[in-house]
Amino acid sequence: MAAGRDDLRQTRRWVIKIGSALLTANGQGLDGAAIADWVGQIAGLRSAGIEVVLVSSGAVAAGVSRLGWSRRPEAIHELQAAAAVGQMGLIQTWEAAFGKHKLHTAQILLVHDDLSNRQRYLNARRTLQTLLQLGVIPVVNENDTVVTDEIRFGDNDTLGGVVANLIDADLLTILTDQSGLFEQDPGINPAAPMIGEARASDPRLDAYVQGGAGALGRGGMMTKLKAARIAARSGAHTVIAGGRDSAVLTKIAAGEVVGSWLKAEQQPLAARKRWLGSHLQTHGVVRLDEGAARVVKQSGRSLLAVGVVAIEGVFGRGEMVSCVDPEGVEIARGLVNYGADEARRIMGLNSDRIQSVLGYHDDDELIHRDNLVLI
């Protein structure tokens, strides 16, 4: 057993995400045998006192198969129709499989707006925590039947990371059709070494991941790394592992060397900061000068208008914007105290000039540190 993997044996609340390619046997319909095997392992985790939230992809892919289509469609109405058809079979399959182990399930369908709204975020959190207290296995998916590109999470890897934050999970486990995270695409270089252990925040990982996805899914290794970094905000570790590996979940729980372990070594963010981090869509961009970027990134201090050199997009007071450094790299996101038009008028100015320029003065800060989360 590798040093450090003992940490995984102490985890007591898991989010497990299973991808479309695994669930649908690469497009041949839902893989009932594989689902039964994972459910058996999850039942074992539950018997060991581990709480589990399952993030299940596969609704669109299952619908595509049920409808007899040869490939995933691109038109939004066809995607949503496929999701509506596929979700029926998907949740029935999970319910039947868990029922054989006398475990109850609950269906949770989310869209981005459910978590970007503070009250709905807290409601979702309380509901999931209550289900876990009742011994129920929540099965979470994005509500693909109503979501649009403008308000979607983007993929269920990201949703898994957000749910890990939402419920204060100890571990995010992402089961995929690869054995883990590799230094190169194993489809191109079969001899590429796999990363056994790394910090989720390690910038060297960005050079390894690939952005591609299979025909049935939206995610790639890039999204899995992103999910690991989101999960790390609440102190959750991430394991990326092959879903077809024998007893993969049982082995992870035992601390065996399986897949790639991306450690969360940062201090968990406060609950409000984690909620801010669940805002995945932004309404504009605030470009910072070098000094402001350094202060925000290194000290986590509020952003003042004097440190802003450009405003892009259309946004109102209280909306989420992206803060980028002089090289255009996103370093933070936050809720602005002034709309785009007002922000353009006061950018580059000291706070004591806001009153004379705008005719009113609501806040000294363009973004207060309590409403700012580092990326």
Residue 77 lies in a domain: yes
Q: Classify each residue of 234-272 as buried b or exposed e, where b means 16 or more C-beta atoms within 10 Å of its C-beta.
A: bbbbbbbbbbbeeebbbbbbebbebbbbbbbeeeebeee
Is residue 148 predicted with pLDDT exceeding 60? no
Domain-located, residue 355: yes
Query: Are residues 345 and 305 in contact, defined by beta-carbon separation less than 8 angstroms?
Result: no
Reported confidence tier of residue 18, pLDDT bands at 50, 70, 90: very high
**What is the average per-residue pLDDT within 256-278?**
82
Question: Has residue 1 been placed in a domain?
Answer: no
- Alpha-carbon distance of 13 to 253, in angstroms, equals 11
State the residue for tokens 């994972």. Answer: 38
Mean pLDDT taken over the chain:
87
- Asked if the model's pLDDT at residue 122 lies above 50, the reply is yes
Residue 318 confidence (pLDDT) above 50: yes
Q: Both 200 and 221 in a single domain?
A: yes
Least reliable range by pLDDT among 107-121, 141-155, 228-242, 344-358: 141-155
> Is the Cβ–Cβ distance between 61 and 55 less than 8 Å?
no
Same structural domain, 299 and 242: no
Q: Quick one: what percent of the chain has pLDDT higher than 90?
A: 53
Same domain (yes/no): 267, 316: no
My answer on whether 47 and 179 are in the same domain is yes
Can you tell me the mean pLDDT for 283-300? Answer: 92
Whether residue 261 is found in the same domain as residue 296:
no
| Residue 94, both tokens | 């999970």
Instruction: Report whether 56 contacts 62 (CB < 8 A).
Output: no
Same domain, 154 and 290: no
Per-residue pLDDT at 211: 46
* Whether the predicted pLDDT of 336 surpasses 90: yes
* 63 and 197 both lie in a single domain: yes
Is the Cβ–Cβ distance between 139 and 212 less than 8 Å?
no
pLDDT digits (tens, 9 = 90+) for 66-100: 888 888 888 888 888 888 898 998 999 999 999 99
| Residue 70 CB contacts under 8 Å (≥ 6 apart), including other chains | none
Long-range contacts of 324-331 (CB under 8 A, 24+ apart): 324/285, 324/286, 324/287, 324/288, 325/288, 325/290, 325/293, 325/297, 326/287, 326/288, 326/289, 326/290, 326/293, 328/287, 330/375, 331/288, 331/293, 331/296, 331/297, 331/374, 331/375
Q: What pLDDT is attached to residue 28?
A: 67
Regarding whether 25 and 129 lie in a shared domain, the answer is yes
d(CA 81, CA 60): 8
Residue 321 lies in a domain: yes
| pLDDT the model gives residue 45 | 97
286 and 257 co-located in one domain: no
| 105 within a domain of the structure (yes/no) | yes
**Can you tell me the distance from the alpha carbon of 298 to that of 24, in angstroms, rounded to the nearest whole number?**
45
Whether residue 227 lies inside any domain: the answer is yes
Query: What Cα–Cα distance (Å) separates residue 248 from each residue in 126, 129, 302, 308, 348?
Result: 30, 26, 44, 49, 54
pLDDT value of residue 26: 60
> Is residue 339 within 8 Å of 327, Cβ to Cβ?
no
**pLDDT tops 50 at residue 373:** yes
Most confidently predicted of 108-117, 120-129, 182-191: 120-129
> What pLDDT does 82 receive?
87
321 pLDDT tier (thresholds 50, 70, 90):
very high
pLDDT of residue 185: 78
CATH number at residue 343: 2.30.130.10
Give pLDDT, residue 79.
Answer: 84
- 288 and 270 inside one domain: no
Q: What is the CATH number of the domain that holds 129?
A: 3.40.1160.10
| pLDDT class of 151 with cuts at 50, 70, 90 | very low
Higher pLDDT: 18 or 208? It is 18
70 and 124 in a single domain? The answer is yes
pLDDT band at 154 (very low <50, low <70, confident <90, very high): low
Residue 153 has pLDDT above 60, yes or no: no
For the chain, give the number of residues: 375
Both 112 and 260 in one domain: the answer is: yes
Within a domain: residue 362?
A: yes
Q: Tell me which of 213, 248, 274 is where a domain ends.
A: 274
Q: Alpha carbon of 320 to those of 13, 49, 337: distances in Å?
A: 30, 38, 10
> What Rg value do the Cα atoms of the chain yield, rounded?
22
The whole domain housing 107 covers 6-274
| Whole-number Cα distances in Å, 72 to 20, 58, 82, 151, 285 | 12, 12, 9, 20, 33
Give the position of tokens 């006061």.
Answer: 346
Number of domains in the chain: 2
* pTM over the 0.75 mark: yes
Q: How far apart are CA 18 and CA 152, in angstroms?
A: 18
